[in-house]
């Protein structure tokens, strides 16, 4: 299985990895996310810093920015922005195209890496219900989002706590970028949605 888009090497694992995601915020309640590994160690966090711009920043545990997701105003096209691999920081950017189609109770989201026709992701299921699967262009499952189960009490937790399963080689930071895109467009009535995703620490690599 190919590695796909890599935002941060440190979040690419050789074995299938289970992360726990909390929809919360270290600054403003209900305004971001925190991500933990199976040992309960903080790996990633997301915050908007209480602004009204719709901008979300994905950071590692120490607060270093990895990428930024910006919600665009209503538009008929969808795009997300990242740097072209191997180019200078101020060079041309490559775009991720995000489009969605809805089917009663479920939705399908397609994420294309423009300029690389072989790099595409299909997200099937319902993010609102925390039940969806991310497939690469080869129709291989690279990540899954599911409801979190408290094993000790055998209870399904609320939607603000969910599991993110990563297949070997799929970047967890990029997966969280996709989670942020899904969260931004969840519940909207638009067939197409526009979200900017821009790496802030290093270039996107494929």
Taking only the tens of pLDDT, the chain with its 206 residues reads 556 788 888 999 999 999 999 987 555 555 689 999 999 999 999 877 655 556 788 899 999 988 887 765 544 333 444 333 333 343 344 467 788 776 665 568 888 877 777 788 999 998 888 999 999 999 999 999 999 988 776 778 888 899 999 999 999 999 998 998 888 877 554 434 445 566 554 444 54
- Residues 145, 162 contacting (CB under 8 angstroms): yes
In this structure, whether the domain defined by 15-199 belongs to CATH 1.25.40.10 is answered with no
Domains of the chain by residue range: 15-199
pTM: predicted TM-score of the whole model, two decimal places: 0.78
Taking CA atoms, 187 is separated from 45, 127, 129, 137, 193, in Å, by 23, 9, 11, 26, 11
H or E element at residue 155 = strand 155-156
Query: Which of 136, 135, 144 lies closest to 116, judged by CA?
Result: 136
Taking CA atoms, 47 is separated from 68, 115, 195, in Å, by 10, 30, 16
H or E element at residue 172 = helix 172-185
């Amino acid at each position: 299985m190919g590695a796909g888009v890599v935002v941060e090497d440190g979040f690419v694992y050789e074995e299938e990895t289970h992360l726990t995601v909390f929809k919360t915020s270290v600054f403003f309640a209900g305004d971001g996310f925190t991500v933990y590994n199976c040992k309960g160690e903080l790996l990633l966090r997301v915050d908007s810093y209480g602004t009204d711009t719709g901008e979300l920043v994905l950071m590692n545990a120490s607060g270093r920015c990895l990428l930024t997701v910006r919600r665009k105003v209503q538009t008929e096209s969808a795009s997300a922005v990242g740097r072209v691999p191997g180019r200078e920081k101020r060079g041309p950017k490559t775009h991720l195209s995000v489009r969605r189609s809805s089917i009663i109770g479920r939705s399908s989201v397609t994420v294309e890496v423009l300029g690389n026709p072989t790099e595409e992701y299909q997200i099937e299921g319902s993010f609102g219900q925390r039940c969806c699967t991310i497939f690469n262009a080869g129709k291989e499952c690279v990540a899954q989002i599911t409801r979190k189960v408290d094993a000790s009490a055998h209870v399904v937790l609320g939607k603000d706590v969910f599991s993110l399963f990563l297949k070997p080689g799929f970047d967890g930071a990029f997966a969280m970028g996709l989670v942020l895109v899904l969260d931004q467009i969840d519940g909207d009535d638009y067939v197409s949605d526009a979200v900017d995703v821009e790496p802030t620490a290093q270039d996107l690599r494929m």
